[in-house]
Structure 1
Amino acid sequence: MTAPEDEPGAEAAAPWGNGVSGTVNGTVIQAGRVHGGITVVTGASAPERVVPDQIPPLTVPFVNRRAELALLAADSAPRPHEGEPPGEGSEPHGDEDDLVGDRDAVEVGYRVFFGLPGVGKTALVRKWGRARGTRDRFPDGQLFVDYAGLRGVDGDSAIALARCLRELGVKEEFIPHTLEDRAALYRHHTAGRRLLVVVDDALKAAQVRPLLPQGAGSMLLVTSTRRLGELTLDGARLTPMAPLDADAALRLLADRLGPETVHAHREAALSVVAACGGLPKALDLAAVRLLQRPHLTLPALARELARESNRLRGLALRGGPAMSTVLELTYGELSQEEAGLYRLLGVLPGRTCEPVTVAAGLGLAAQGGEGEAAELLERLFDAGLLDAAEGGHYRMHDLVRAHAREKAGEVEGARWADGVVERVTRALLLRTAQADRALREDRLRVAVLDELLAQAPDPFADGAERERAKRALAWLEAGKYNTLAVLAAAEALGLHGLVWPLAEAQTALFLHHRHVREWLTSLETGARAAAADLAPAGEARLRSLLSRPLLDLGEDERARAELERAAACAEVAASPVLSASVLEFSGRYWDRADPERAVGVYARAVELNAEAGEERGGALAEFFLGRALVATGRAAEALPVLERARDVLRGLGEDDRRMAARAGAALGDAREALGDLAGAERELREAAGELRAVDATYYEAQARERLAGLMVREGHLTAARAEALRAYTIYEEGGSPEAGRLRVRMAALLGEDVVAGE
Structure 2
Amino acid sequence: MAGEPTAGGATAGETSNHFAGRAETVIQARKVTYHHHHAPEPPPVTVPHQVPPSTPRFVNRVDELADMDGWLDPDAGGPPRIAVLSGLPGVGKSTTARRWAETARGRYPGGELYVDFAELRGPTGGGADVSAGLARCLRALGVEDRYLPATLGELAGLYRSRTAEQGVLVVLDDVTHPAHVSALLPAAPGSAVLATSGRRLGELVLDGARLLPLDPLDADSGSRLLAELCGPARIAAEPEAAARLVEGCGGLPVALHLAAARLLTHRRLTVAALAAELEAESGGLAALSLNPANGMSALLGIACRDLPADALRLYRRLGLLPGRGFDAETAAAADGSDPATARRLLDVLDAASLLEDAVRDRHRLHDLVRRHARDRAESDEPAAEREAALGRIVDHYTVRAAFADRAVMGNRLRITDHDELLTGHEDPFTGPGARDTALDWLEAERADALAVLRAAAAHGLDRRAWQLAESLTALYLHHRHLADWIESGTLGAAAAARTGDRAAEARLRSLLSRPLMDTGAHDRAREELETATVLADASGHPVLRASVREFSGRYWDRYDPARAVRVYEDSLALNVAADEPRGAALARFFMGGALIASGDREAGLAALTASYEALSALGDVRMAGRALAALGRHARSAEALERAAEMLRETRAGHYEAEVREELAGLLERSGDTEAARGHLSRAVELLAAGGSPRAGELRERLSAL
TM over 0.5: yes
Q: Which residue of 2 aligns with 1:342?
A: 315
Q: TM-score, normalised by structure 2?
A: 0.58
- 1: CA distance between counterparts of 2:66 and 2:561? 53
Alignment of 1:511-660 (within 5 A): 511-653=477-619, 655-656=620-621, 658-660=622-624
Query: What one-letter code is carried by the residue in structure 1 that aligns with 2:672?
Result: R
What does 1:186-225 align with in structure 2 at a 5 Å threshold? none
Distance 1:706 1:127, change over 3 A: same
The 5 A counterparts of 1:322-721 are: 322-364=295-337, 369-461=338-430, 463-464=431-432, 467-653=433-619, 655-656=620-621, 658-667=622-631, 680=635, 685-692=639-646, 695=649, 697-701=657-661, 704=664, 720-721=671-672
**What are the within-5 Å matches in structure 2 for residues 22-421 of structure 1?**
69=59, 250-251=98-99, 263-265=113-115, 287=174, 289=176, 317-320=286-289, 321-364=294-337, 369-421=338-390
Q: Secondary structure at the match of 1:721?
A: coil
Residues 415-435 of structure 1 show CA distances to partners (whole Å, capped at 9, x for unaligned) of: 221111111111111111111
Deviation at 1:642, TM superposition (A): 2.2
Shift of 1:445: 1.1
Q: Give the C-alpha shift of residue 565 in structure 1.
A: 1.4
Report the Cα offset of residue 125 of structure 1: 9.8
Partners in 1 of 2:317 and 2:605 — Cα distance? Answer: 60
Give the conservation status (yes or no) of the 8 Å contact 2:682–2:703: no
**What SS does the corresponding residue of 1:385 show, helix, strand or coil?**
coil
Residue matched to 1:85: none
Cα deviation for residue 594 of structure 1 reads: 2.2
Question: What's the CA shift for 1:520?
Answer: 1.7
Distance 1:636 1:319 in 2: 70
Counterpart of 1:378, as a letter, is D
The aligned residue for residue 39 of structure 1 is none
Q: CA deviation at 1:577?
A: 0.9
- Partner deviation per Cα, 1:374-420 (whole Å, 9 max, x = no partner): 12111101012111243422222233233322322232212221111
What per-residue deviation string (whole Å, max 9, x for no partner) do you get for residues 546-600 of structure 1? 1111111111111111111111111121112111111121122211222222121
Q: Report deviation, 1:633.
A: 1.2
Distance 1:615 1:527 in 2: 27
Contact 1:349 1:486 in 2 (8 A): yes
| Pair 247,449 (structure 1): closer, same or farther in 2 beyond 3 Å | closer
The alpha carbon displacement at 1:323 in A equals: 3.4
Which stretch shifts more, 625-634 or 733-742? Answer: 733-742
- How many angstroms apart in 2 are the aligned matches of 1:524 and 1:288? 51
1: CA distance between counterparts of 2:664 and 2:589? 19
Deviation string 1:50-80 (CA, Å, 9 cap, x unpaired) is: xxxxxxxxxxxxx9777564xxxxxxxxxxx
Decide whether the 8 Å contact of 2:118 with 2:173 is kept in 1.
no
The CA distance in 1 between the partners of 2:364 and 2:609, in whole Å, is: 53
Q: Distance in 1 between matches of 2:376 and 2:314?
A: 11
Given that 1:662 and 1:687 are in contact with CA atoms closer than 8 Å, whether structure 2 keeps it comes out as no
The gaps in structure 2 that reach 5 residues or longer are 1-52, 69-89, 126-170, 185-193, 198-282, 651-656, 686-695
Q: Partners in 2 of 1:651 and 1:391 — Cα distance? A: 36
Residues 693-721 of structure 1, C-alpha deviation per residue, up to 9 Å, x if partnerless? 55375354355467569xx7xxxxxxx22
- In structure 2, relative to structure 1, the CA distance for the partners of 1:414 and 1:703 (3 Å cut) is closer
- Per the TM alignment, residue 487 of structure 1 is displaced from its structure 2 partner at its CA by 1.1
Is the Cα–Cα contact under 8 Å of residues 346 and 405 in structure 1 kept in the other structure? yes
Compared with structure 1, are the counterparts of its residues 576 and 247 closer, same or farther at alpha carbon in structure 2 (3 Å cutoff)?
Answer: closer
Cα 1:129–1:523 shift into 2, 3 Å:
farther
Distance 1:403 1:686 in 2: 57
**Following TM superposition, by how much is the alpha carbon of 1:249 offset from its aligned partner in structure 2, in angstroms?**
7.5
Structure 1 pair 380–262 and aligned structure 2 pair: CA distance change class (3 A): farther
CA distance in 2, matches of 1:635, 1:509: 33
Maintained 8 Å contact 1:523/1:545: yes
Which amino acid counterpart does residue 356 of structure 1 have in structure 2? E
Secondary structure of residue in 2 paired with 1:420: helix
CA distance in 2, matches of 1:743, 1:401: 44
1:726 to 668, 673, 676: 676
Flag the 1:253–1:547 CA change in 2: closer, same or farther, 3 A.
Answer: farther
Distance 2:112 2:122 in 1: 11
Give, as a single letter, the amino acid of the residue that structure 1 aligns with 2:680: I
Query: Quick one: higher RCO (CA 8 Å, sep 6+), 1 or 2?
Result: 1
Contact 1:662 1:699 in 2 (8 A): no
Preserved contact between residue 61 and residue 96 of structure 2 (Cα < 8 Å): no
**Secondary structure of 2:480's partner?**
coil
CA distance in 1 between partners of 2:354 and 2:525 (Å): 45
Q: Classify the secondary structure of the residue corresponding to 1:263.
A: strand
Q: Rg: which structure is higher?
A: 2
Q: Tell whether the 8 Å contact from 1:616 to 1:649 is kept in structure 2 after alignment.
A: yes
**Aligned counterparts of 2:55 and 2:557: Cα–Cα separation in 1:** 59
Find the counterpart in structure 2 of residue 80 from structure 1.
Answer: none
Tell me, yes or no, if the aligned pair for 2:175 and 2:181 is still in contact at 8 Å: no
Residue identity in the other structure for 2:316? R
Flag the 1:269–1:729 CA change in 2: closer, same or farther, 3 A.
same
Q: Which amino acid letter does the alignment assign opposite residue 346 of structure 2?
A: L
CA distance in 2, matches of 1:410, 1:285: 34
Matched residues in 1 for 2:172 and 2:424: separation? 41
Supply the RMSD in Å over aligned alpha carbons: 4.2
Q: Percent identity?
A: 38
Please, which runs of 5 or more residues in structure 1 have no aligned partner?
Answer: 1-62, 70-122, 132-241, 276-283, 302-313, 671-679, 713-719, 745-754
Give the whole-Å Cα distance in 2 for the aligned partners of 1:296 and 1:316: 38
Could you say if the C-alpha distance between residues 451 and 738 of structure 1 is closer, same or farther in structure 2, counting changes exceeding 3 Å? same
**Cα deviations by residue, 1:588-633 (Å, 9 ceiling, x for unpaired):** 2211222222121112111111111111111111111110111121
Count of residues in correspondence between the two structures? 466
CA distance in 1, matches of 2:332, 2:383: 21
CA distance in 1, matches of 2:333, 2:532: 34
Distance 2:54 2:563 in 1: 68
